[in-house]
Amino acid sequence: MYSSKIVQHSTLSASRAGTSRHDTFLPKARGLVWILFVLALANGGFLYFVPQLAETHYAWAIKPPINAAFMGAGYTAGIVATALALFKAKDWRSIRPLFPGFFVLGLSLFVATLLHANRFKWDYALTWVWTFVYFGIPFGSSLIWFWHERIDNKLAARDPRLNLIKNLSLFAGIVLTAIATLLYFTPQLFLEIWPWQITPLLARTFAGWYFLGSFFLLTTGVTLRQAHELPVSFATLIAWNVLSLLLLVLYPESVRFATPGFWVWTLMHFAFLFFTIWVTVKAMKIMRLEHQSL
């Protein structure tokens, strides 16, 4: 039994040593991520910190301010994702879960723009910026994925210590995808039960952020092999949940506390927050033990 543990540990260490620096994040991909970083910085700062201006100074009139701030929470979390990718991560697999999420976010928001074109200010330059950005994100994400996945890299062995995280991430991703799908395709069902006042366009826009998180989790649940693949995407989810929950404190006048939807939404975000914190802490402990880096 003792010898089998030694063999298992040596196998994991050897496989990590053979791939951790070979599978790198390509410099040409960083250029595209820089664009996402700047966009996240601009939108996150504007929508989360001065959301009242979004009624008159955004691609469409967003009100009440809590709606713009909720979108801003997603963009600000995107700052975490892109900053870690640009300034910390060296290994492609450390940031790999981000790109299916970026793809589906861009696709869902572009289609929502087409579905609700009458709500947008087409005589306003930033509306066209919004449209072209979300038209381009799926292509950029696919390109980054193609550049890296076509490289013939020997994959590290699956770390059995991560099996529970892998299974729970897959389950959580399926749940979040189901919620996002309902929110996107049947937005009318959520107009009366959402914790604050929303429109069908906002429901579909919010669904894009839930799709983003769900695809982080689904990718992790399907492809997770080593602990260093977890912190970037899960730190992003921590930031998103914290910033979203803070809205209940920042905008109490807009929150419908009496609705059942408020309690469901709040408990769901707290559950995802605790889960993502637990995963990140566990991953960082394993990374320290195995001398892994991003």
- What is the domain count for the chain? 1
Supply the DSSP string of 24-86, one letter for each residue: B--HHHHHHHHHHHHHHHHHHHHHHHSGGGGGTSSSS---SHHHHHHHHHHHHHHHHHHHHHH
Whole-angstrom Cα distance, residue 120 to residue 60? 5
Supply φ then ψ for residue 91, to 5 degrees: -95, 130
pTM above 0.95, yes or no: no
Is residue 6 a part of any domain in this protein?
no
Q: Annotate 41-68 with b (16+ C-beta within 10 A) or e (fewer).
A: bebbebbbeebeebeeebbbebbbbbbb
Could you give the dihedral angle defined by the CA atoms of residues 52, 205, 173 and 288, in that order, rounded to the nearest 10 degrees? -40
Is residue 181 a part of any domain in this protein?
yes
Question: Mind listing the pLDDT tens digit of every residue in the chain (294 residues)?
Answer: 444 443 344 444 434 443 444 448 899 999 999 999 999 999 999 999 999 999 999 999 999 999 999 999 999 999 999 999 999 999 999 999 999 999 999 999 999 999 999 999 999 999 999 999 999 999 999 999 999 988 866 788 999 999 999 999 999 999 999 999 999 999 999 999 999 999 999 999 999 999 999 999 999 999 999 999 999 999 999 999 999 999 999 999 999 999 889 999 999 999 999 999 999 999 999 999 999 999
**237 close to 77: Cβ distance less than 8 angstroms:** yes
**132 close to 109: Cβ distance less than 8 angstroms:** no
Is residue 135 a part of any domain in this protein?
yes
The pLDDT of residue 152: 61
Amino acid sitting at position 133? V
Tokens of 123: 């005589």
Whole-angstrom Cα distance, residue 263 to residue 267? 6
Q: Tell me whether the omega of the peptide bond preceding residue 65 falls within 30 degrees of 0, making it cis.
A: no
Whole-angstrom Cα distance, residue 38 to residue 75? 10
Whole-angstrom Cα distance, residue 208 to residue 107? 8
Whole-angstrom Cα distance, residue 149 to residue 14? 22
Range of the domain at 114: 13-290
**Residue whose C-alpha is closest to residue 200's, from 75, 113, 101:** 113
Is residue 237 a part of any domain in this protein?
yes
Is residue 112 a part of any domain in this protein?
yes
**Residue whose C-alpha is closest to residue 237's, from 261, 212, 218:** 212
Tokens of 284: 């960082």
Is residue 2 a part of any domain in this protein?
no
The residues, ordered by sequence, that sit 6+ positions from 73 with a Cβ below 8 Å of its Cβ are: 48, 240, 243, 244, 246, 247
The pLDDT of residue 151: 83
Is residue 33 a part of any domain in this protein?
yes
The DSSP secondary-structure symbol of 8 reads H
**113 close to 130: Cβ distance less than 8 angstroms:** yes
The pLDDT of residue 155: 83
